[in-house]
Amino acid sequence: MDRKLAQIYFGILGVVSLVFGVVNILTTISGKSLLLGILEIPADMFRGGWGGLVILSAGLFYLSGAKRLSEIHHFSKVVMASILLWLIATCDIFAMVCESIPGGEEGPFFNTLHGFFAAYAPPYKPAIFLLPFSLVVIYYIYKRRSE
Amino acid sequence: MKIRNFIAVLIFPLMFSLSLAEAHMPGAKPPPDFKLKPIILNDGGRKIKITMEDIGRYHNERTERVRRKLLKNEGKSVQEISEIIKREFAQADGKCPCVCCAFRVMLLAVQKLWSEGVAERSDIKIISHLPGQGSMQCFEYITGSGLGIPNVQSKGEFSLIFPPKDKREKAMGDIDIDDWSFAVIHKSTGKKFEVQIKDDVFPKGFFALRKKVNVEKTATEDEIDRYGIMWEEVRDTFLTKADWEIFEGEKEPFPIGGVIFFSLLSIGVICFICVPKVRRNKKSFKKP
């Protein structure tokens, strides 16, 4: 039952990642970033194009691995997909942290409290949305080790 | 009285033709996607919604009509006039910086002065210091006091007051940031909302270049192109930026979303550091 649930979970996560990856690549090709409420899909070459390719790969890994999760080779694909998402999400978070500390081109050396929190305000990129859901894989890593 | 007549006869037609040059920018890129709420008015018991599109269309029609008249006065033939109009107004949508600014001013004023966000049309009084056709026509449309506005049941008031400078110079189009100030009055309560546009809205050198292009007509091709880019930038700012980025005195809302995200991120980092340590300590405690 637990394995079945994990398969469905990572399957859905795979589909969502795949969609985000494709949209990321499409926005990069069109050159117009997309803003949907608190979700922002960038269109620049690095974060949009390259990042989109990584998220797309993560989606493919999830879908491929979710089929037979009990097998170590397939489970490693799911872990790999999560690591890919963590890479992109940490890049995005690191960019936010770097942006939040200095006061800007014409501002003071350090940012104001308002400016500091504004750097963490929405919209967020797709990898940040996927990050908490990808962390579930840690539970399965520990579970597998204890088994 | 004579001075008034002089202003009416000489200056206003000049102002009209000068601001016509600003009313639309041939070759300007279309504006970006924007989400501006409509202005909701109660017009003699009937609720009406005025959108940015309505004002743009109205301004475009009036500008086109005036341009036709000016071309006719220049002695152009009907065919020539229609060709010039077709060329000049090919992509014009009436969304010039003045129109967009006036619309944003009214959106904010209605929100500030009328608690339910619906203003009684006859209860509106607008005082503008900006001698631009776009803003004037926008205010005329909203108050219902302009020409050719459909289904007007009641009318508000609109006045254009030049700042105490040389009126003639002002009317000639020599405007600066001080002129981008407006006052909206809730007539029945006497409440007044005064607003000034922020300096940052206009790129550096915008007014000097505007004067060179529209008033003195001494700008080079390169300067005209540069002015066109600045014009688009100002228009896009009025269409897409938040109130606090456009108007003096408007405060930026505290980024609650940012606080929540930062808190969650901090909790996540603390857990990432502490949980393995706690587990390790537990294990070592269990060992004999």
How confident is the model over B144-186, as pLDDT tens digits?
Answer: 999 889 889 999 999 988 766 555 555 556 788 888 999 999 9
- Which of A16, A121, A112 shows the shortest CA–CA distance to B265? A121
Interface mutation target, options A114, A120, A125, chain B, most CBs of B under 10 Å: A120
From A119's Cα to the closest Cα of chain B, the distance in A is 7
Mean pLDDT of B241-248: 94
Which segment, A97-106, A126-135, B14-23, is predicted with the most confidence on average?
A: A126-135
Chain A residues in contact with B254 (beta carbon < 8 A): 114, 117
From A107's Cα to the closest Cα of chain B, the distance in A is 14
Q: What gap in Å lies between CA A100 and CA A117, rounded to an integer?
A: 7
What is the residue-averaged pLDDT of chain A?
A: 92
Would you call A121 and B252 a contact, using CB atoms and an 8 Å cutoff?
Answer: no
Residue found under tokens 């009406």: B48
- Which of B171, B218, B252 shows the shortest CA–CA distance to A117? B252
Among all residues of chain A, which has the CA nearest to that of B265? A93
Contact B159, B111 (CB under 8 A): no
Mean pLDDT of B34-48: 92
pLDDT at position B172? 55
Would you call B259 and A114 a contact, using CB atoms and an 8 Å cutoff?
Answer: no
pLDDT at position B288? 56
Lowest mean pLDDT among A59-68, B66-75, B121-130: B66-75
Q: Residues A1-35: pLDDT tens digits? A: 578 899 999 999 999 999 999 999 999 999 888 88
Mean pLDDT of B33-48: 92
Would you call B261 and A119 a contact, using CB atoms and an 8 Å cutoff?
Answer: no
Contact B162, B7 (CB under 8 A): no
Interface mutation target, options B265, B272, B278, chain A, most CBs of A under 10 Å: B265
ipTM score of complex: 0.88
CB atoms within 10 A of CB B179: 21
Lowest mean pLDDT among A138-142, B215-219, B252-256: B215-219
pLDDT at position B9? 44
pLDDT range class, residue B15, cuts 50, 70, 90: very low
- The 8-class DSSP code of residue A102 comes to B
CB atoms within 10 A of CB B217: 9
pLDDT at position B18? 46
User: Can you say whether residue B148 is alpha, beta or left, with left for phi > 0 and alpha for psi between -120 and 50 degrees?
Assistant: left
Contact A33, A41 (CB under 8 A): yes
Residue A76 has pLDDT above 50, yes or no: yes
Chain B residues in contact with A38 (beta carbon < 8 A): 257
Kindly state whether B257 is in contact with chain A, defined as any CB-CB distance less than 8 angstroms.
yes
Among all residues of chain B, which has the CA nearest to that of A112? B254
What is the residue-averaged pLDDT of chain B?
A: 85
Would you call A120 and B252 a contact, using CB atoms and an 8 Å cutoff?
Answer: no
Residue B283 has pLDDT above 90, yes or no: no
Q: Residues B59-73: pLDDT tens digits? A: 999 988 988 998 898
Contact B155, B145 (CB under 8 A): yes
Kindly state whether A114 is in contact with chain B, defined as any CB-CB distance less than 8 angstroms.
yes
Kindly state whether B276 is in contact with chain A, defined as any CB-CB distance less than 8 angstroms.
no
Rounded alpha-carbon distances, angstroms, from residue A127 to A91, B20, B171: 9, 49, 54
Q: pLDDT: is B27 or B18 the higher one?
A: B27
Residue A130 has pLDDT above 60, yes or no: yes
pLDDT at position A109? 87
What tokens were used for B261? 């995200």
